[in-house]
Chain A
């Protein structure tokens, strides 16, 4: 049976897990496409963080430390199962780390609160892109189902999504949800 101190430490760590779960999931999804691999890496990242908690510098934010662990696990995973990954190398991971840190520092109690700008940008998309994004992402339909529902080709759906993502990127940068463009 675990001692009370361990139980208390677990309870506190669970708060950290819950507070950082969405951020970490977003980070992993930015570089890994296979859902099973994302779940595995999520669990492993938190496990490693738990085991290395004594090494954690409490004067520094927890999120970047967690992403640092995740980045090492992702790179290790890429050596075994590269096909699980999207475009990913150390510089991409560092770049994404900075983007997520920027989002983390936005106002809002929850990760969802910090994504308000993204919701606003979706609402501002042209109708066809907005409809496609809603079906694909908010409703979690696969592209072929979206194509069928909207009666357009898969290629058209793919291009709409690509254009929508590009437009959303510009929009959320305009709202300072992500760092602005360099001069």
Chain B
């Protein structure tokens, strides 16, 4: 072995040190999985890596990505929001009803966002002020209430034929890029800054890491939690607006089960159910992994039933990897003792 290669090996050894490798894996593991999957699909189907198809994946992932972002905030606080799918459905209907009543698109959108945020805030208020034992309860309640209201308000039928300037947000494009994709990227960038560069974002991580310690450090825990659930509701409303625009209708059953896809994206993206851990980019990658899986299996002519099965397996594997990481961390702790 020449001297250069042996020093190169030493470099590799240094880079592969477990204490450095582990956080790297945590950060880039999901991305690596996405790239590997995309590579495999590109080889299996010549159609996969075309510009249109990639845009298609992004567009199809957009609504899930928005719901997942809200879910991420909630999961970082060690909570869960089961109501996002129903809030999305209700907001679809609300936006359509506003538009049918002759309200201008901009006002309809603003009102829908405000109502979605208010529904989320209600979740937060119920959880913190009524001291309900777990956010599972108020959001489970909201899930049913919002879906029921969507059906009541629409009479159970889709409200179709929406104005062009509203549909632009879900079906339009700017410079060849679909609007949903642009919206997702802008919102994700904003939330990345929010979570990493503001004290409020850091409070959210602290609350998920140890609620009691966060409270005793002077963090207004209840107020932060209410904010988080309100944001989740607002993002669900945004997803509803995009979906209604894309489908050209307010469909009261839109988003049934979507909360579970959102949770899956967050978990695949490396967030921990125990709270305190999770990133915005990881969640985007998680949503894209689900999008790529669906798209790729479509291209390969695999039935939709199998797609669901595969996604189920991916979720379990992702969490299992998380458990392995935790255990490796534990071992490092023992080692220091």
User: Are A and B part of the same complex?
Assistant: no
